[in-house]
Structure 1
Amino acid sequence: MTESFLPRINGVTNSVCRLAEHLAARRHEVLIVAPAPGPARYADQPVELVPGVRLPFYRSFPVGLPTGRLHAALRDFAPDVVHLASPFVLGAGGLAAARRLDVPTVAVFQTDLAGFARGYGLGAATPLIWGWLCHLHRRADRTLAPSTPVLAELERRGVPRLALWARGVDHERFHPRHRSASLRARLAPDGEALIGYVGRLAAEKRPDLLAHLSGIPGARLVVVGDGPERQRLQRMLPDAVFAGFRTGRELSELVASMDVFVHTGAHETFCQAVQEGLASGVPVVAPAAGGPLDLVQAGHNGLLYAPDDGAELRAAVHALVADPVLRMRMSRNAHRSTQGRGWDVICDQAIGHYTEVMYGTTPHEQAA
């Protein structure tokens, strides 16, 4: 059960899709419950669509409304476990239905809705949002956190039965071999170092910080993504290349062809974009907050900066642009740092959590 699904592309959708594919490939039956509009099937598994509404402070994240059909759909499908992806509204209905049907639940804390609300000037609502989220996760049989900072925050707020569950990376799509000399020649005809940003161009990602990267000698900024802030950013950054939204081979080549990967969001529970940059062999400069703290080892595969310090961001990027030898060393380390994080490994971990909540055992007890 997911608060967001295709055709919307985001971290929640991506992880649900990879998990559904993995489960289907291993002959598990899956029912996806998601907000409309969307596909009727995915990975040859049924999708139950419910009415969807957009959150006023986070328009790109529509949530589903639980209806009477939700309980009937779960009852008819008779699941062994209910997976709640970033539960908020639809997830609350799914949790209630699962409890009535006596089905165990695994809830994934995936979106920092309170942080996004603050970013949109709705800070007064954050205690209510946190209160609701903690209420939901306390009722789940297990809550999976994507990073150690999120795990610590949930523990501090009194959420029980916690475990760490990171995100996988597609090593076929994100790999240094996709680096393209012809693409680099088009983007940097004078041999400039390419500073890349990949992500939604919206307030919650704080792309305004990219303005601090203007005018770095010997470098050119490439912005990959789209969103409501794009036109304003184009006026702010007239010398940058705005590539728009890209997927597939185009995205693989763009990311691998960068020399420095920059992230600006400070409310990332994991930050898949950072992991994909690292897997592509690109040193990452990211804020020292949230998910990137688990991914970026400062001085090894990238650099961290104080989340609100644009001058520190610029200094970190400038240091990498000015030192090709350092970039090359960090590039090798970046790719290596993502080994063992393929989606097959991560999805098998999820299946392990399902098994544990179904049987009330730990892996050690199962082995015994």
Structure 2
Amino acid sequence: MRVAIVTESFLPQVNGVAGTVRHAVDRLTTTGHQVLVVAPGAGPAAYSGAEVVRVRSLALPGYRSFPLGLPDPAVQHALARFRPDVVHLASPIALGAVGLRAARRLGVPTVAVFQTDVAGFARQYGVRAEHLIDRWVGHLHRRADRTLVPSTASWDQLAALGVPDLHLWRRGVALDLFDPGHRDEALRAAWTGGEPGRTVVGYVGRLAQEKRVRRLAELADLPGVHLVVVGDGPERGWLAERLPAATFTGMLRGPELARAFASLDVFVHTGEAETFCQTVQEAQASGVAVVAPAAGGPLDLVAPGRTGSLYDVTDPGALRRAVGALVADPDTRARLARGGRQAVAGRSWARVVDELVDHYAAVVAPVPGRLAA
């Protein structure tokens, strides 16, 4: 099959959208499909056997590392030249809208993957545009032939916008990378200064307002805890000032990231607008007890008391209490860690991308009366 992926983000960016596309390309090319990627901003012109067409972009204020794709005739030219069987729209909002229009003009079926709650992020930044954003997101997904959502919360969100033909498509996890066997006692000692008996609690992700990372300050003086913050972003300075005893590793990738995950005792996530929350899966695969918000994607990933712990995001003390309970109870930590690892045992990226191909196949059959944009 010839698959064109029009994505809002791709390498060298590191985020959920770029990561999902990267794993999809890896598996698609390995299994014999021909792939074209259309992405905004500067970056590699090829990846894993697929050509990457770069189009015009604009750096967002406060997010200089995140290029926003702009309308560019290169999108339709690239699709017309490649002649895809299907166009995959990865988290469409800006460049995805251009790709959708081009695909409809060319009569190519589309699969749209909802991955970013842009309206939710806007709320975190105090931008009063949720209604307009939701209308735009609904408009795009209603025009796609099929929409894939990562969680039941996302399903409900898009169904409320009138989007038809919704299908649940979860994310995979790199089970060959994230594993309890990577736990490193020397690394833990370096984090804690060799102080015995400390429970290492960690956050992994972008240090940005939409992730609600300022809630980590609630854990600053939790007895017996050493806090580790993995990642980077605009909120790092604020956090470092209020968490002087914490370890800030910066962004980690590959084996270093896997080692950091497995060396935690408790993983905590603070974001309330996550459509999925990939780092929860990575922590579970690493054999680490999880504390996550009872909102969005984590509601599907964490079964309280079995595969992790959820806290009420409306309760200012809930995060601290949830983490404190696990710090005080190593047996429960171990049980939740085992349950979490068992829950993700079958979620390899290979299996998940093979499911994606089934969705492609479902829309490739000729659709009578397809309208031009």
Query: TM-score band (shorter)?
Result: over 0.9
1:153-173, CA deviations, whole angstroms, 9 ceiling, x for partnerless residues? 111221111100110000111
Query: Counterpart of 1:236 in structure 2: which amino acid?
Result: R
1:81 correspondence with 2:69 = no
1:153 correspondence with 2:146 = no
Quick one: percent identity of the two aligned structures?
55
- Residue 7 of structure 2 corresponds to 2
CA contact (8 A) 1:58 1:117 kept: no
1:176 correspondence with 2:218 = no
CA contact (8 A) 1:57 1:116 kept: no
1:349 correspondence with 2:355 = yes
- Residue 127 of structure 1 corresponds to 131
Greater shift in the superposed pair: 53-62 or 111-120 = 53-62
Shift of residue 255, structure 1, vs aligned partner: 0.5
CA contact (8 A) 2:111 2:148 kept: yes
What TM-score does the superposition give when structure 1 sets the normalisation length?
0.95
- Residue 42 of structure 1 corresponds to 47
- Residue 366 of structure 1 corresponds to none
Shift of residue 56, structure 1, vs aligned partner: 4.6
Q: 1: distance between equivalents of 2:364 and 2:148?
A: 15
Determine which of 195, 201, 209 is the counterpart of 1:203.
209
Determine which of 52, 61, 68 is the counterpart of 2:57.
52
Q: What's the secondary structure of 1:290's corresponding residue? A: coil
- Residue 100 of structure 1 corresponds to 105
- Report how many residues are paired: 360
Shift of residue 182, structure 1, vs aligned partner: 1.2
1:110 correspondence with 2:146 = no
1:286 correspondence with 2:268 = no
- Residue 3 of structure 2 corresponds to none
1:136 correspondence with 2:140 = yes
Greater shift in the superposed pair: 55-64 or 287-296 = 55-64
Q: 1: distance between equivalents of 2:110 and 2:72?
A: 19
CA contact (8 A) 1:320 1:326 kept: yes
Q: What's the secondary structure of 1:169's corresponding residue? A: coil
Q: 2: distance between equivalents of 1:360 and 1:104?
A: 8
CA contact (8 A) 1:58 1:116 kept: no
CA contact (8 A) 2:20 2:171 kept: yes
Q: What's the secondary structure of 1:297's corresponding residue? A: coil
CA contact (8 A) 2:100 2:144 kept: yes
CA contact (8 A) 2:232 2:250 kept: yes
Structure 1 outlier segments of 4+, above 6 Å: none
Q: 2: distance between equivalents of 1:128 and 1:56?
A: 20
Shift of residue 133, structure 1, vs aligned partner: 0.7
Question: Gaps (5+ residues) in structure 2?
Answer: 1-5, 368-373
Q: 1: distance between equivalents of 2:206 and 2:331?
A: 31
Q: 1: distance between equivalents of 2:240 and 2:314?
A: 21
CA contact (8 A) 2:41 2:67 kept: no
The correspondence of residues 244-323 of structure 1 with structure 2, limited to 5 A, is 244-323=250-329
Query: Counterpart of 2:88 in structure 1: which amino acid?
Result: H
Determine which of 20, 25, 30 is the counterpart of 1:20.
25
Q: 1: distance between equivalents of 2:327 and 2:65?
A: 33
CA contact (8 A) 2:290 2:337 kept: no
CA contact (8 A) 1:87 1:136 kept: yes
CA shift in 2, pair 1:333/1:276, >3 Å:
same
Shift of residue 221, structure 1, vs aligned partner: 0.5
Q: 2: distance between equivalents of 1:332 and 1:59?
A: 40
Q: What's the secondary structure of 2:147's corresponding residue? A: strand
Question: Gaps (5+ residues) in structure 1?
Answer: 362-368
- Residue 240 of structure 2 corresponds to 234
CA contact (8 A) 2:326 2:332 kept: yes
- RMSD of equivalent CA atoms: 1.3
Query: Counterpart of 2:204 in structure 1: which amino acid?
Result: V
1:21-79, CA deviations, whole angstroms, 9 ceiling, x for partnerless residues? 11100111000000021110010210110011234576554321131121111111000
Query: Counterpart of 1:275 in structure 2: which amino acid?
Result: Q
What TM-score does the superposition give when structure 2 sets the normalisation length?
0.94
Q: 2: distance between equivalents of 1:130 and 1:316?
A: 33
Q: 1: distance between equivalents of 2:39 and 2:83?
A: 17
Q: 2: distance between equivalents of 1:55 and 1:117?
A: 13
Q: 1: distance between equivalents of 2:89 and 2:134?
A: 17
Shift of residue 137, structure 1, vs aligned partner: 0.2
Query: Counterpart of 1:326 in structure 2: which amino acid?
Result: T
